[in-house]
Amino acid sequence: MTFSLHLHQFLLSLTPVKSKVFQVDHSTDNNTLIETLLLERDELYQELSRLRGNDKGTLEVAREKNRKYEAILKEKDNLIKQLTDQLAWYRRKFWKPQSEKYIPQDPNQRRIEFDGLDVLPEEEASIKEAEKEIITYVRNKPAKEKKHPVRLPLPDFLRREDEMIEPEGIDDNWVRIGEEVTEVLAHKPGELFVRRIIRPTYVLKKNLQKQAEINEEPVVNIKTATLPLMPLPRSNADASLLAELLMGKYMFHLPMHRQLAIFKLTGMSIPASTVNGWTMGSCDLVRALYHRLREIVLSSDYIQVDESTVPVINNEKHRAVKAYLWMVRSVMKNLVFFHYDKGSRAQKVVLELLRDYQGAIQTDGYEAYSIYERKKGVLLLGCWAHARRKFKEAVKEDKDGAEYGLGQIGMLYKVESMATDQQMTHEQRAELRKRLAYPILCAFEKWIVSYYHKVIPKGRMDKALRYTYSLFHRLSRYHLDGRYQIDNNLIENDVRPLALGRKNYMFCGNHVAAENAAIMYSLLGCCKANDVNPREWLTDVLTRIPTYNNDYSLDLAELLPHNWNRNKV
């Protein structure tokens, strides 16, 4: 104990204390008063030190708890934002129109000024001039006349079956003076029939045989016509039936068991194993034609590339796994083919697929295509439809910024509409783009840079600006050539049959089945692109292709849909 504490105890024994505060008698001398005050100060200091020592741990615990609560709140805020974005996406997906076209609330407001849109005076003048010309054209464009529905007459080539209905109470007192005819379009289920190939056998007359023997000439006494090559050897399936089966699955998306059920209604039961064999054999038959199609598409100098999912059964995992089909379209030749490589979406697939390609490649923002930015002889183009989707998704988060972005992209599409309406050539379209679209592109890029710091980090508007700016060099290249499309919509339209197939037959049984699907989607897609009747084309090709496969001097390209109209027998 300290000296002051001993002194304090001594004073307590001498002086009566009525409270915790010492009662000091002013009659005492100064020394006693000083010692008493020092003792009181020492006691208070020790009490304060004790309290500080006890509170130090409590304060650290409270601070640690506060840090934990702040981390939890931050995590919950991020989760709430993520769920809010997902909810907005699902609402737009299932309860809003699916069109990507954007119409501003005020149709007269074509441009919104933002702080930081820093353009040079001469650039601003050209931008305003371009916007003025586009808006003037849109306003003065004549409205399309509404077509009222009219019932068209039924075609003359359809077979007519007459059905006579006599009025009641007709006898010899009535004379027929005319009739009223009502034509109704009727339907009967598809018909299976037997095609009988009759080959008469002839024998040479006896007198001619004897004459040949006298002249010692070689002679054939019996003649029978040669049986034409069948699509599938040792099979009794005609090309027309094989074409119907392939169209049913890969064009009308009917699984084989449904097609067999339809045949059964006509009274014909066909084993499923037999039909599966016919399908695989038919795909093998046109495989060489498919590879010829690939050569022609990849020989063009402007293609569009995309990829989409297809479920494929994995025998090791005993379930369907997500695989990918790649699509390549020749825009100028109007041909498309699908490529399947064990279901992979890796960059190595597109590297092998386009290994020797030279020309323009239009894609979305998938990173696997970025390697072609550095390949000599290849020009990589972007897709404005994908950029537009990003801004459309950001409207709920940043209405002003997203609407401005959509308005500028809409201007670019209006330039394309002007060229299409006026039926411009590729050269004229390129000049129109340089005059009207290019100034808008320059201003839009500057706006993205100036507006970026105003958006919420990692929000939808942030993603839209990042996506568009990172690919802006690809997106703006379409103005270089009038042949180039502003977006990748042509190839995305080719993906639709694949999406419908996923909803119907749901999956491919193995890799071979997926490859067969790629073959048939390619050939039928070319029929659709070239407005060729797929039933007639497929029936004719399955009939004639055995001859081409046996004679390598014939070019399979003659059988492709874009040439078939000119070479059809």
The SS3 assignment for 568 reads coil
pLDDT, residue 286, reads 93
Residue 119: predicted pLDDT: 61
Q: Which two tokens stand for residue 68?
A: 């934990």
Burial 139-157 (b: 16+ CB within 10 A, else e): eeeeeeeeeeeeeeeeeee
Give the separation between CA 386 and CA 365, rounded to whole angstroms: 8
441-497 confidence digits (pLDDT tens): 988 998 998 888 888 888 889 999 999 999 999 999 999 899 999 999 888 888 888
Q: What is the pTM of this model?
A: 0.72
Q: How are the residues of the chain apportioned to helix, strand and coil, as percentages rounded to the nearest 5?
A: 55, 10, 35
pLDDT at 213 (0 to 100): 67
Condensed to tens digits (0 to 9), the pLDDT of residues 525-534 reads 999 989 899 9
* 3-class SS of residue 53: helix
User: Rounded to whole angstroms, how far apart are CA atoms 130 and 434?
Assistant: 10
Nearest to 288 by CA among 568, 544, 567, 566: 544
Give the phi and the psi of residue 307 in degrees, each rounded to 5: -140, 155
- Contact (CB, 8 A) for 517 and 501: yes
Closest CA to 492 of 519, 525, 467: 525
Nearest to 337 by CA among 565, 563, 513, 520: 520
List phi, psi (to 5°) of 379: -115, 120
Rounded CA-CA distance 528/321 in Å is 29
Classify the phi-psi angles of 483: left when phi > 0, otherwise alpha if psi is within -120 to 50, otherwise beta: alpha
DSSP string, 59-108: HHHHHHHHHHHHHHHHHHHHHHHHHHHHHHHHHHHHHS--------SSTT
Q: Which of the 8 DSSP states describes residue 37?
A: H
Distance (Å, whole) CA 340 – CA 290: 12
Q: Confirm if 442 and 123 have CB atoms less than 8 A apart.
A: yes
DSSP string of 441-461? HHHHHHHHHHHGGGSPTTSHH
- C-alpha span between 63 and 34 (Å, rounded): 42
State which H helix or E strand residue 330 sits in: strand 319-330
In degrees and rounded to multiples of 5, residue 518 shows phi and psi of -60, -40
pLDDT at 180 (0 to 100): 83
Q: Round to whole Å and give the CA distance between 523 and 516.
A: 11
CB 284 within 8 A of CB 513: no
Q: Along the chain (569 residues), what's the average pLDDT of each consecutive run of 10 residues?
A: 47 44 52 82 80 64 80 87 77 57 44 46 71 76 70 80 83 82 74 82 73 67 79 86 91 88 85 90 93 94 91 82 91 92 89 91 90 89 92 88 91 91 91 90 89 86 92 91 91 82 79 90 92 91 88 89 69
Minimal CA–CA distance to 561: which of 341, 330, 357? 330
Q: Buried (b) or exposed (e) across 246-269, using 16+ Cβ within 10 A?
A: bbbbbbebbebeebbeebeeeeee
- 534 in Cβ contact with 250 (< 8 Å): no
pLDDT at 69: 85
Q: Please give the C-alpha separations between residue 419 and each of 107, 333, 433, 440, 485, in angstroms, as whole numbers.
A: 22, 21, 9, 16, 12
Give the separation between CA 247 and CA 457, rounded to whole angstroms. Answer: 50
Q: For residue 84, which amino acid is it?
A: T
Backbone angles phi, psi at 177, to 5 degrees: -115, -5
* Cα(126)–Cα(198) distance, integer angstroms: 77
